[in-house]
Structure 1
Amino acid sequence: MAITAVRIDGRLLHGQVANMWTNVVGATRIMVIDDEVASSDVAKAGIKLAKPTGVNLSILSEQKAVNNINEGRYDSQKVFILVRHPRVLVNMIQKGVPITSVNVGNMSQTDETKAITNSINVVQADVDAFNELHKLGVSVTAQMVPSDPVLNFIDLLKKF
């Protein structure tokens, strides 16, 4: 399988991802990996509305995604993985999924988060997971839209 891109975005699949990122990364399949969304028919219906024409979509739990990837179900496709939290990616890598780079997009602000950039807000568990990704050799960048400059996310975290 060719994982063409991996993005952390709290909104998962939405207009910006569907219209800009999917074309830039050349994806033939978008894979939304989120246990909560995968178990909610309402949430899945909302995500399906944002799917670009001509691109396949999978909305899977973390374990189902790991199983499908490791079984080679998408080997002939260019897969764009979307998750909300970095811990999901750490777990997937530890279960054998070959992820080498991650783009961090939007992580929404809550009462518990601290801002890293205008659009990226994290809690300590996120920071710990990002540091684990870095230790696993994963390149972590921040880029909201393709026309923005690519920033080294680990450098941004050092200011946290």
Structure 2
Amino acid sequence: MAITAVRIDGRLIHGQVANLWTTKLGVSRIMVVDNEVSKSDVDKAALKLAKPAGVNLSILDEKRAADHIKAGKYDSQKVFIVAKRPEILLQMVDDGVPITVINVGNMSQNDDTQSLANSINVDAEDVKAFNELNDKGVKLTAQMVPSDPVQDFMPLLKKFK
């Protein structure tokens, strides 16, 4: 199977993803799945600069990413999927992508979010998507960096009011 890991990180590719996670996982491709970023030449250029040397990069909208994965396009590679929010990963699962574990990393704070843990801020839509992913059997974990202990994410979600 091509999917090595799946992470939610609002920053997409940055120091933790580019250096720590990519190295720890030994991946050959980072796949950024974001419907807006995939249309922005400026965002795509920035992500290309941030990717580690020797690692391939795909920046795709959800539908194209799901189609490529299901068609076996990346079967010979170790793919690390990164998305900003859980909703897009829920769409991928609904489209038949075999995602079994999602690591919840940095989710930025805004006026509509509530903090669940250090650097994990969610809104009502996120909570709905996380609950649906959990109901579909996807294991949700929280882990900022590889050296941190892995936590079950669902008890954190209960803090949302």
Same fold flag (TM > 0.5)? yes
State the SS of the aligned residue for 1:35.
coil
Amino acid at match of 1:89: L
Stretches of structure 1 that go unaligned for 5 or more consecutive residues are none
CA deviations 1:126-149 (Å, max 9, x no partner) are 001000111111110000011111
Q: Deviations over 1:76-96 (max 9, x none)?
A: 010000000101111111111
Whether 2:120 is the aligned partner of 1:92: answer no
**Distance apart, 1:118 and its partner CA:** 1.8
Deviations 1:19-46 (A, max 9, x none): 0000111111000000111000000011
Aligned to 2:112: 112
Task: Calculate the TM-score normalised by the size of structure 2.
Answer: 0.97
Q: Counterpart in 1 of 2:140?
A: 140
Counterparts of 2:48 and 2:2 in 1: how far apart (Å)?
Answer: 22
**Partner-residue secondary structure (3-state), 2:87:** helix
SS of structure 2 residue aligned to 1:116: strand
Which residue in the other structure is 2:126 paired with?
126
Superposition misfits of 4+ residues, deviation over 3 angstroms: none
The DSSP-based 3-state class of the residue aligned with 2:68 is helix
Shift of 1:111: 0.7
Alignment of 1:25-36 (within 5 A): 25-36=25-36
Shift of 1:15: 1.3
Rounded to whole Å, the distance in 2 between the matches of 1:110 and 1:158 is 19
Report what 2:158 is aligned to: 158
Query: TM-score, with normalisation over the residues of structure 1?
Result: 0.98
The aligned residue for residue 23 of structure 2 is 23
Alpha-carbon displacement from aligned partner over 1:44-85 (angstroms, at most 9, x marks no partner): 011111111111100001111011111110010100000001
Aligned-residue CA RMSD (Å): 0.7
